[in-house]
């Protein structure tokens, strides 16, 4: 039946169809396409912005850390050297228990035997060789020896009880000695057994000198 639609549109069952009945239509292909340009224009308008400058890392924390490490190493080295120095001083006999015991025993033996020169060398505390006139010093040493021999027949240092360092070369020493009485006058007690004494020591070169001696139960000699 003729109708209002063009003849290329066919009528289907139930009514007319709005789709064309002709075959597919092909689009024309472009002949000789243009090549892709070598330097295409940038999509960013204008000039590119300058590169971003990132902040530089601060190096002072690293320098501070290195200085702290150097300081710690220096402290450790100084402690090690001080410890080794103390060990060497002890090994050489300067103000150790052994050297103190030897010096005090030498001083007590000199007073027991009446060796006034050795007693004076100790009590002058390093000045003996420089003193020109020694007669008064030898006389004082003789008096100290006489007083010691009147009280003790023999004295032997048995232990060093305490060393108090005043400096690397000076010390006060509390020691114990075993004494034998010389004898006693009438109504006087006899010193015997063990008793303590105090000595002040000085190291000078390879010598350890007894500058003063004080028994804990008697006067100073």
Query: For residue range 172-209, what is the model confidence (pLDDT) as tens digits?
Result: 999 999 998 876 554 455 556 888 999 999 998 889 99
Average pLDDT over residues 53-75: 62
Please give the Cα distance from 15 to 24 (Å, whole number). Answer: 23
pLDDT above 70 as % of the chain? 51
Residue 186 included in any domain: yes
The pLDDT of residue 221 is: 45
What CATH number does residue 206 fall under? 3.10.450.50
The pLDDT of residue 22 is: 56
Residue 29 included in any domain: no
Beta carbons of 210 and 118 less than 8 angstroms apart:
no
Residue 15 included in any domain: no
Half-sphere exposure of 85 (CA within 13 A, CB side): 7
Helix/strand/coil percent split, the chain, to 5? 35, 25, 40
The pLDDT of residue 93 is: 44
- At residue 137, φ and ψ (nearest 5 deg) are -70, -40
Instruction: Find the domain containing 207 and state its range.
Output: 97-215
Residue 15 has pLDDT above 70, yes or no: no
Residue 140 included in any domain: yes
Residue 53 has pLDDT above 70, yes or no: no
Residue 172 included in any domain: yes
Residue 124 has pLDDT above 70, yes or no: yes
Half-sphere exposure of 168 (CA within 13 A, CB side): 9
The pLDDT of residue 70 is: 60
- State the pLDDT confidence band at 168, using cuts at 50, 70 and 90: confident
Domains: count for the chain? 1
């Amino acid at each position: 039946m003729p109708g209002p639609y063009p003849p290329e549109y066919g009528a289907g069952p139930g009514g007319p169809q709005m789709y064309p009945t002709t075959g597919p239509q092909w689009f024309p292909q472009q002949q000789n396409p243009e090549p892709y340009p070598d330097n295409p224009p940038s999509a960013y308008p204008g000039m590119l912005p300058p590169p971003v400058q990132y902040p530089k890392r601060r190096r002072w924390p690293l320098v501070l850390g290195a200085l702290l490490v150097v300081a710690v190493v220096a402290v450790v080295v100084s402690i090690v050297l001080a410890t080794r120095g103390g060990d060497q001083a002890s090994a050489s006999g300067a103000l150790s228990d052994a050297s103190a015991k030897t010096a005090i025993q030498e001083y007590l033996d000199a007073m027991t035997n009446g060796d006034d020169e050795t007693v004076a060398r100790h009590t002058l505390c390093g000045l003996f060789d420089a003193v020109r006139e020694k007669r008064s010093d030898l006389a004082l040493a003789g008096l100290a020896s006489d007083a010691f021999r009147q009280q003790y027949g023999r004295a032997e240092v048995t232990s060093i009880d305490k060393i108090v360092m005043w400096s690397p070369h000076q010390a006060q020493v509390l020691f114990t000695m075993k004494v034998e009485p010389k004898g006693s006058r009438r109504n006087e007690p006899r010193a015997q057994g063990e008793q303590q004494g105090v000595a002040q020591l000085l190291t000078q070169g390879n010598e350890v000198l007894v500058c003063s001696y004080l028994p804990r139960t008697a006067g100073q000699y």
